Amino acid sequence: MKILLACLAGLSLLAAPAPATPENLRTQAEESGFQRTGRYEEVPRMCQAFVERWPQYCATSTFGTTPEGRPMQVLVASQTGALTPEQAHAAGIPVLLFQGGIHAGEIDGKDAGFLALRQLLESDGLRQVVVVFVPVFNVDGHERFGRYHRPNQVGPEEMGWRVTSQNLNLNRDYTKAEAPEMQAMLALLNNWDPILYVDLHVTDGAEFQPEIANLIEPIFVGDPHLQPLGKALQKDVNRRLSEQGCMALDFYPSLRNPQDPASGFSDGAYTPRFSTGYWALHNRLSMLVETHSWKDYARRVELTRKTILALVELANRDGVSWVQAGAAADRAARLLGGQTIALSHKNTEHHRDIYFPGYAYKKTASQVSGDPAALSYDANTPKIWKIPFYDEVVPDQVSEAPRGGYLVPAGQAPLVAAKLKLHNLQYRVLEAGLSERPLEVFRADSADFSQRSFEGRQMLRVKGQWRSEKQALAPGSLWVPTAQPNSRLLLALLEPMAPDSLLSWGFFNAHFEQKEYMEEYVAEAVGKEMLARRPEIAAEFLQKLASDPEFAKSPAARLDFFYRHHPSYDQRFNLYPIMRSAEVLP
C-alpha cells in the first residue's frame, strides 16, 4: 500500500552553519540566508575548495563542455580510498551519483549537495560509499539567470532556465541522447556505473502541505527481482524523513485534472526518456527527488540535504547488497531472449480513497480567463482532502524479446551504432553481410506522425507486428545480440512500438513516407484490368466496399487499393528498417 508520511508542518530544521566552516566552503546560498543561489562560477570554485580541504577524500574534474563552451564539473567524495571508477569497482564499493540542475531553475540540489557532502566529510560519513556529485547538469540553462523564471516557485531570488541553450529539455533526452550535455552525462554514468542515480528536482502543481516526493525505480519498470529492493529503499528513506519532521510522498503529486483537486492523483511508471526510467533499465536503482515549489528555498534545500544524507546512510548499510543484486540482474538480463517484456505501462481505473493534507480551495468565475470555475487556494487554511488515488499500474505495450538479437541494415548502421555506443550497448559489424534467410520484419499497419514537434522532433507512433520473411543484408550491417546486461534498454530503443524507441523519436520517419506513386489515370486503368482479370482481387475489393463506408466513398483510397496490389508498389514502404533474428549469429 502506498503511504503518506506526515509530521510537523512548518518546523524549520535549517541549522546555522558551524562557525568553524572555512569561508571558501560556504555557498552564496548560506551567506544570504538561502535567499539567493550562486552563479555557475561558484561550482568549480567550491569543488576545488573541497579538494583543498580534503585532498585524500575528494577529487574534481570536468566531464564535458556545453554548447556555449562552459565546463561541466563533477566532484567525487569518498573516505574509502576509492576516487576513480576503477578503484571503486575493483573494491566493490557502492557508487551513488547525485545530480542537480537538470532543470536549472530547480536548483535546490546544487546548494543541498554541497551542504550534505561537507557534513558527511566532517563526520566520517563516507566510509562505505563513493559519492559522485554533479552540482549543475544544465550549465548553460543555469547561466540564463533571471528573477522571473519560475513564477510558481518560492525562491531563490534569481535562478536559471529549464532547458539548455539549444532549447532541449535534458530530462526528455535520455534515450535519443541528442544534447551534448546528455552525451557527456551518459559517458559519466557508464564510466562510474552508480548503483543509485539520484536526480534532484522541484515539482510544480497544486498547493498542498506535503513538502517532498521521492520516486524510485525499479518499482514498476526494470528487472522484477529488483522491484522489492526499490520499494524497500523508498519506504526507508521516507521513514527517515518523517522521523525528522518532513512530510514526504511516495508518488508524484500531479493532479489528474490540474483544475480540480477532487480528481485525485495517479501512480505511474517512468519511460526511459526520463532519468528515473532510463537508469532502472541498466539494472540499477534510480530516484527522482521532487521538493514542492511552494515551500521556501531554505526549507527545500534542507529537505534535499536530509534526503541525500538518508540515502548515503542507507547505502552505507545496504549498498553492498544493492551492488550484488544489480550484478545478479545483469546476469539475468543476458537470458532475456524469448521473455515477454513490458515496453510501457498505464493506469487502470482501479482506485482507492486517500486522505491528503491539502489546503482550502474554491472555484469562482474569473474576469481574467473567463473560466466560470477558476481554481484558487488558501494556503492559510489547511484542509484534508478525501480524493481518489489511482494506484494500479499495469503493462500496456509488451513485446517478446528476440531470442537472438537485432539486425541493422548497412544504411542505418552509422546512426544506430552511434546511439548504441552512447548507451553502452554491444554490437558488431557484419563485414561480409548476411545471405538470404528467414528473419523477423516489422511492417506497420498504421503510422501516425505527431502534428507538432516535441523536443525538436516529429514523433511517430506505429502499430503492427513482427512476421517472418526472407531477407539478406549488405556488408556493414550490424548484429546486436539480446544476450547482454543492458538488454532491457536495448528493447526500449529498438522495439518499434516502445514509447521512447529510436523509431518513436522520429529517427526513421523517412521509411514511413511514400516515395513512389501511381498516377490516378494509371491506377484507374490498372483497377479496371484487375477487376476484369483477377477474381480474387475483385472479391476483396467488393468485400471492402461493403464493410468499410469510409473506403467506399474515398476515390483516393479505392485507387490506392489497386496500386497496393500492383507489382510496382514499394514493398519497403512502412517497413521498419531494423530486423530481428530468432537465432544467435556465430
For the stretch 105-154, pLDDT in tens is 999 999 999 999 999 999 999 999 999 999 999 999 999 999 999 999 99
Q: Which stretch of 24-28, 342-346, 399-403, 566-570 has the lowest confidence by average pLDDT?
A: 566-570
The set of cell numbers assigned to 496 is 518499434
**What is the pLDDT, as a whole number, of residue 370?**
93
pLDDT, residue 246, reads: 96
C-alpha cell at 453: 514537434
Query: What domains does the chain contain, in order, with CATH numbers?
Result: 21-257+264-331 (3.40.630.10), 352-395 (no CATH), 400-514+576-581 (no CATH), 520-564 (no CATH)
- Whether 497 shows a pLDDT value over 70: the answer reads yes
Q: Among positive and negative, which fits the CA dihedral 15, 19, 22, 23?
A: positive
At 255 the pLDDT is 96
* Dihedral pair phi/psi, residue 322, rounded to 5°: -65, -45
Instruction: Among 188-202, 362-376, 491-505, name the one with the lowest average pLDDT.
Output: 362-376
**Longest Cα pair distance anywhere in the chain, in angstroms?**
96
Contact 531, 537 (CB under 8 A): yes
DSSP alpha helices (H): ranges in 123-248?
A: 139-142, 180-192, 227-243
Question: What sign for the dihedral angle of Cα 65, 143, 103, 245?
Answer: positive
> What digits encode the pLDDT tens for the residues 199-230?
999 998 899 999 999 999 999 999 999 999 99
pLDDT at 18 over 60: no
> Cis link prior to 218 (omega < 30° from 0)?
yes
Tell me how far apart the alpha carbons of residues 117 and 558 are, in angstroms, rounded to a whole number: 69
Average pLDDT, the chain: 95
Residue 328 has pLDDT above 50, yes or no: yes
The 10s digit of each residue's pLDDT in 379-434 is 999 999 999 999 999 999 999 999 999 999 999 999 999 999 999 999 999 999 99
Q: Is the dihedral of CA 129, 132, 135, 136 positive or negative?
A: negative
Least confident of 16-30, 285-299, 449-463: 16-30
pLDDT at 569: 80
Q: Are strands 71-77 and 95-99 parallel, antiparallel or unpaired?
A: unpaired
Which residues on adjacent β-strands are paired with residue 443?
A: 465, 575
Q: Residue 20: which pLDDT band, with cuts at 50, 70 and 90?
A: low
The pLDDT value recorded for residue 568 is 85
The angle, 0 to 180 degrees and rounded to 10, between the axes of the packed helices 297-333 and 227-243 is: 160
Contacts of residues 381-384 at CB distance under 8 Å and 24 or more positions apart, as own/partner, are 382/9, 382/209, 382/357, 382/358, 383/358, 383/359, 384/355, 384/356, 384/357, 384/358
Is a pLDDT exceeding 90 seen at residue 580? yes
